[in-house]
């Protein structure tokens, strides 16, 4: 039996609104792709959009007419130039409820900072950012993009710290033992190992 594809493959052009159109419905893509051609895989329940063989967007498939599926993370470049357009935008309206809550709790009067937060979420993910915000709240530290970036960057570096610290500790221990051994040979004492504090 021949195999049948479970999706439709199309090449579509991104419009000036950073969306593609399929069967009267629109789906957002990252705003750096405006006026470029993208490859689209259309499944029964979703659309996957590729640029240069890289997945750049995924949407639940819409079956209505003139509906829009907008991901606010696709518009960070555009919004950074026009932060005042954030709240009235369709992207903001369709934004996930957890992001809206973060906006209303911490960035209500700081749309530029919120757009910077969206870029951070694009580099990490919403769960990492929410966990970081919870850490800042628990420690009574101001929730802002600088503090969020600082904790996320520290967590990125964390895996390398224990090994660096232990090798430095080993080096200190070795040098301390050498010095104690030298001291023992001068004054004639013994049991160097027992005196090294660990």
Please state, in angstroms and rounded to a whole number, the distance separating the CA atoms of residues 73 and 98: 14
Mean pLDDT across the stretch 13-29?
95
Please state, in angstroms and rounded to a whole number, the distance separating the CA atoms of residues 139 and 154: 16
To the nearest whole number, what is the mean pLDDT of the chain? 82
Share of the chain above pLDDT 90, in %: 37
For residue 163, pLDDT beyond 50 = no
Please state, in angstroms and rounded to a whole number, the distance separating the CA atoms of residues 1 and 163: 56
Please state, in angstroms and rounded to a whole number, the distance separating the CA atoms of residues 63 and 176: 73
Mean pLDDT across the stretch 146-152?
89
Distance of CA 178 to the CA centre of its chain: 47
Q: Please, which residues have CB within 8 angstroms of residue 170's CB and are 6 or more apart in sequence?
A: none
Which has the minimum average pLDDT: 83-87, 104-108, 131-135? Answer: 83-87
9: confidence class by pLDDT, cuts 50, 70, 90: very high
Q: Please, which residues have CB within 8 angstroms of residue 72's CB and are 6 or more apart in sequence?
A: 79, 89, 91, 92, 94, 95, 99, 118
Task: Decide if 15 contacts 56 (C-beta within 8 A).
Answer: no
What is the rounded radius of gyration, in angstroms, for the C-alpha atoms of the chain?
A: 27
Tokens found for residue 172: 């200190």
Which has the minimum average pLDDT: 128-137, 142-151, 174-183? Answer: 174-183
Tokens found for residue 46: 């979703």
Please state, in angstroms and rounded to a whole number, the distance separating the CA atoms of residues 99 and 97: 5
pLDDT for residue 189: 53
Q: Please, which residues have CB within 8 angstroms of residue 40's CB and are 6 or more apart in sequence?
A: 9, 10, 11, 12, 20, 22, 47, 48, 49, 50
pLDDT for residue 184: 62
Please write the tens of the pLDDT for every residue from 122-145.
888 888 899 999 989 998 888 989
For residue 42, pLDDT beyond 80 = yes
């Amino acid at each position: 039996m021949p195999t049948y594809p479970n999706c439709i493959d199309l090449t579509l052009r991104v419009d000036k609104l950073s969306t593609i159109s399929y069967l009267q419905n629109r789906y957002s893509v990252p705003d750096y792709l405006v006026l470029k051609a993208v490859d689209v895989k259309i499944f029964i329940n979703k659309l996957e959009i590729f640029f240069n063989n890289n997945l750049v967007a995924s949407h639940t498939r819409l079956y209505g007419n003139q509906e829009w599926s907008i991901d606010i993370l696709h518009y960070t470049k555009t919004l950074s130039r026009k932060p005042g357009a954030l709240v009235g935008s369709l992207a903001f309206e369709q934004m996930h409820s957890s992001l809206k809550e973060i906006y209303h709790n911490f960035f209500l009067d700081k749309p530029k900072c919120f757009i910077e937060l969206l870029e951070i979420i694009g580099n990490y993910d919403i769960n990492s950012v929410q966990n970081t915000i919870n850490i800042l709240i628990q420690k009574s530290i101001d929730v802002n993009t600088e503090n969020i970036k600082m904790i996320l960057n520290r967590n990125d570096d964390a895996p390398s710290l224990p090994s660096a610290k232990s090798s430095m500790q080993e080096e200190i221990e070795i040098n301390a033992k050498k010095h104690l051994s030298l001291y023992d040979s001068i004054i004639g004492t013994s049991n160097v190992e027992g005196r090294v504090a660990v």
